[in-house]
């Protein structure tokens, strides 16, 4: 079977500034020189398989941007299961046994487990073996054999991940594969933002390929503006939402996928079937913590149109834009704020 493969680096959300004329992200630089503050630094780097932009306004911005990137790179080196030396790789190799891990890795895994609970297992950090069968994470992608898929699904159960804070160790069941791809990017952004908040920056922004978190407001005192992409047209913005000291994350079926016989198979897997979740095209979550937004966007996507919206409504402090092939829903708390281009 031949599969057409596509990996999109830039996805989901774009930043709009100063009247909305400029699309931000990996396509354009984002601060027109005429609007630059005295001490503004913005810079990009590839991390987590995506372009990460950091912009900081304030004293020592250049040094801070450097620190943020160094921190994010350090965390990627701990969390990626595609880096053999990472702690997550060690945990996967040691499946069945306790494996030592640093406090931040334990934090992320604990948050992942909590997100599993909060979403009744729609979000499951032990989905790795199923993703491997589909080939997400490698260059070769395929529709897996049913039997193999059933066997891989039997290894998926976040409730069996154990964290021992005192011993600083994690244990996953033998055969299970930890995959933090649905939450690590948001978590890493949250750690970058924490550095900027501690340094008391008035204004800063991190955009990790559409996982966006902002501190404060734009230079003109108005909220940042984020464009939510049309799932079918990478260059079209469907909605614009203001962002004020918040985070926004999008999960979409157009971000990583391959097509076989006209069917699109994407990277967000329903843990109850082992197949890509059907029903939605994209889910955008707005909230305080980018790591939580990241996990929730994946979970709502898995849950689909009815249950996904119900999940958003029952989570405090979480707003959403949910887009299906034929419909779109903006949660009540966002309805007033969202506009169309």
Q: Does position 298 bind Mg ion by CB under 5 A? A: yes
* Residue 267 interacts with which of Mg ion, ligand AMP, none, CB < 5 to 8 Å by class: ligand AMP
Q: Does position 294 bind Mg ion by CB under 5 A? A: yes
Q: How far apart are CA 46 and CA 293, in angstroms?
A: 21
Q: How far apart are CA 99 and CA 87, in angstroms?
A: 9
CA atoms in the 13 A half-sphere facing the CB of 191 = 20
Q: Which residue is nearest to ligand AMP (CB)?
A: 181
Q: Nearest distance from residue 294's CB to Mg ion, in Å?
A: 4
Look at residues 235, 232, 223, 212 and name the one whose alpha carbon lies nearest to residue 289. Answer: 212
Q: Does position 207 bind ligand AMP by CB under 6 A? A: no
Which lies closer to Mg ion via its Cβ, residue 128 or residue 216?
128
Q: How far apart are CA 215 and CA 244, in angstroms?
A: 7
At residue 143, the 3 state secondary structure works out as: coil
Give the x-and-dash track for 263-302 against ligand AMP (CB under 6 A).
----xxx-x----------------------x--xx---x
Torsional sign, CA 267, 87, 84, 154 = negative
Which lies closer to ligand AMP via its Cβ, residue 109 or residue 125?
125
Q: Does position 155 bind ligand AMP by CB under 6 A? A: no
Q: Does position 156 bind ligand AMP by CB under 6 A? A: no
Give the x-and-dash track for 168-197 against Mg ion (CB under 5 A).
--------------x---------------
> Residue for token digits 């157009």?
254
Q: Which stretch binds ligand AMP (CB under 6 A): 38-46, 163-171, 221-229, 261-269?
A: 261-269
Whether 217 and 223 have beta carbons less than 8 Å apart is answered as yes
By CB atoms closer than 10 A (0-12, 13-18, 19+), residue 2 is: exposed
Which residues have C-beta within 8 Å of that of residue 236, sequence separation ≥ 6? 229, 230
Q: Does position 131 bind ligand AMP by CB under 6 A? A: yes
* Residue 243 interacts with which of ligand AMP, Mg ion, none, CB < 5 to 8 Å by class: none
Q: Does position 251 bind ligand AMP by CB under 6 A? A: yes
Look at residues 219, 212, 191, 177 and name the one whose alpha carbon lies nearest to residue 88. Answer: 177
Q: Can you give the binding site for ligand AMP, defined by CB under 6 A?
A: 123-125, 127, 131, 136, 179, 181-182, 251, 255, 267-269, 271, 294, 297-298, 302
Residues that bind Mg ion (CB under 5 A): 182, 294, 297-298
């Amino acid at each position: 079977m031949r599969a057409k493969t596509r990996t999109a680096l830039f996805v989901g959300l774009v930043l709009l500034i100063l009247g909305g004329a400029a699309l931000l992200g990996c396509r354009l630089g984002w601060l027109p020189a005429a609007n630059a503050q005295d001490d503004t630094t913005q810079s990009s780097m590839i991390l987590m398989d995506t372009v990460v932009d950091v912009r900081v306004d304030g004293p020592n911005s250049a040094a801070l941007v450097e620190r943020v990137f160094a921190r994010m790179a350090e965390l990627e080196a701990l969390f990626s299961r595609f880096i053999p030396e990472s702690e997550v790789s060690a945990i996967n190799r040691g499946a069945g046994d306790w494996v030592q891990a640093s406090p931040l890795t334990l934090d992320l895994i604990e948050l992942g487990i909590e997100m599993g609970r909060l979403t009744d297992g729609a979000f499951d950090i032990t989905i790795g073996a199923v993703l491997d069968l589909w080939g997400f994470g490698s260059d070769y992608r395929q529709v897996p054999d049913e039997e193999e898929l059933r066997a891989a699904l039997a290894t998926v159960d976040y409730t069996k991940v154990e964290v021992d804070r005192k011993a600083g160790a994690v244990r996953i069941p033998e055969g299970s594969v930890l995959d933090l791809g649905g939450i690590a990017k948001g978590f890493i952004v949250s750690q970058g933002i924490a550095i900027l908040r501690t340094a008391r920056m008035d204004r800063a922004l991190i955009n990790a390929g559409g996982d966006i978190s902002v501190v404060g407001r734009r230079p003109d005192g108005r909220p940042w503006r984020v464009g939510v992409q049309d799932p079918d047209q990478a260059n079209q913005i469907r909605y614009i939402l203001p962002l004020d000291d918040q985070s926004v994350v999008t999960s979409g079926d157009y971000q990583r996928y391959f097509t076989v016989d006209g069917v699109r198979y994407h990277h967000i897997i329903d843990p109850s079937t082992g197949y890509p979740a059907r029903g939605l095209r994209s889910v955008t979550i707005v909230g305080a913590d980018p790591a939580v937004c990241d996990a929730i966007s994946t979970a709502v996507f898995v849950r689909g149109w009815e249950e996904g919206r119900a999940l958003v409504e029952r989570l405090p402090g979480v707003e959403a834009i949910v887009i299906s092939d034929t419909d779109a829903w903006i949660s009540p708390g966002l309805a007033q704020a969202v506009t169309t281009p």
